[in-house]
Structure 1
Amino acid sequence: MEFNKIISVNGKPGLYQVVSQSKNAIIVESLTDKKRLAINSTQNVSLLENIAIYTYEEDVPLLTIFQSMFEKTEGKEAISHKESGKKLAAFFAEILPNYDEERVYASNIKKVIQWYNLLVVSGMDFSKTEETTTVEDTEKE
């Protein structure tokens, strides 16, 4: 499973892995039940690799947060996303102490923890996952 192929589909629960692409849609597989479906171009899709969390200094990529959570939990699931908002915020503050509390809402924290747990259950090993560098990134250096 590659992190750069994991997406969230607006209006659909869970996470999906991109399996294939066609002219008008992408074929995805649910990480929870392994069912495949076609997502057409009118649906909002977010690539997890492109998501970042606000901090007071700079935006932190979601992969970096997942890697910190993986180290803290020793590769196991984190606390449940159904815990109280205070517990979730306290856990998240341990992972990312300088997150912007005014711009990162409890619902965002809940979703990040839920996604992390889904990925761990699906067998994602964040200790071996690296950010993919694009051609643009290598040209800047």
Structure 2
Amino acid sequence: MPIDLRQVAAISGMNGLYRVVAPTRTGVIVESLSEKPQRLVAQARQRMSLLDEISIYTTDEETTVPLAEVFDRINEKFGDNLPLSEKPADHEYKAFMEEVLPDFDEERVYVSDMKKLANWYKIVKQHIGFKAAEKAETEATDAQPEAEEGKKAKKKK
């Protein structure tokens, strides 16, 4: 997947998204993904969800779609221009969701979830960014031969 959400978290009671920086004895140090990043300690009592672990329900009861994959679909389909007005109504969010993930479960995915999805996508797009799929694949394949050459050079010494 072109986007890595393993170090990005949403913290209950706090707006926006945060990058996990380091663990502490009482929680974790996080840095806000905003225009003016701030570092703070998220206490162990605060509920923190890594975006990498979040999925969206689909109509198939056994299947969910990871958030990173949904973000990739949004990026491919819309890029920077989400089809939402300045203050979108509920039906706009539902239409947006149907375009991105046609088989989402309407009973278990609420409009508030759709609002978070759109908001989080904008933050991730601005502060983390997306790699082109071809670039990500070529970087991975280019890195493998270099690593093997490095191992061979060490063995010869």
Report TM bin, short chain: 0.7 to 0.9
Deviations 1:4-54 (A, max 9, x none): 100000000000000111122100000012100000100000010110110
1:94 and 2:99 aligned: yes
Give the superposition deviation at 1:80. 5.7
Count of aligned pairs: 129
**Among 68, 88, 102, which residue is 1:63 paired with?**
68
The equivalent of 1:120 in structure 2 is 125
Residues 1-141 of structure 1 aligned to structure 2 (within 5 Å): 2-32=4-34, 33-57=36-60, 58-74=63-79, 76-78=80-82, 79=84, 82-125=87-130, 127=132
Q: Which structure's CA Rg is the greater one? A: 2
More helix as a share of residues? 2
Rate the CA distance shift 1:2–1:80 in 2: closer, same or farther, 3 A: farther
Which ranges of structure 2 fall in alignment gaps of 5 or more residues? Answer: 138-157
Give the superposition deviation at 1:127. 3.8
Give yes or no for contact 2:4–2:52 (8 Å, CA) kept in 1.
no
Give yes or no for contact 1:81–1:111 (8 Å, CA) kept in 2.
no
Deviations 1:81-103 (A, max 9, x none): 84111011101100000000111
Cα distance in structure 2, aligned partners of 1:15 and 1:28: 9
Give the superposition deviation at 1:3. 1.6
Cα distance in structure 2, aligned partners of 1:120 and 1:4: 15
TM-score (normalised: structure 1): 0.84
Give yes or no for contact 1:77–1:121 (8 Å, CA) kept in 2.
no
The equivalent of 2:154 in structure 1 is none
Deviations 1:114-138 (A, max 9, x none): 10011112142154579xxxxxxxx
Cα distance in structure 2, aligned partners of 1:53 and 1:31: 22
Identity of aligned residues (%): 36
Which ranges of structure 1 fall in alignment gaps of 5 or more residues? Answer: 131-141
After superposition, the CA RMSD in angstroms is 2.0
SS at match of 1:4: coil
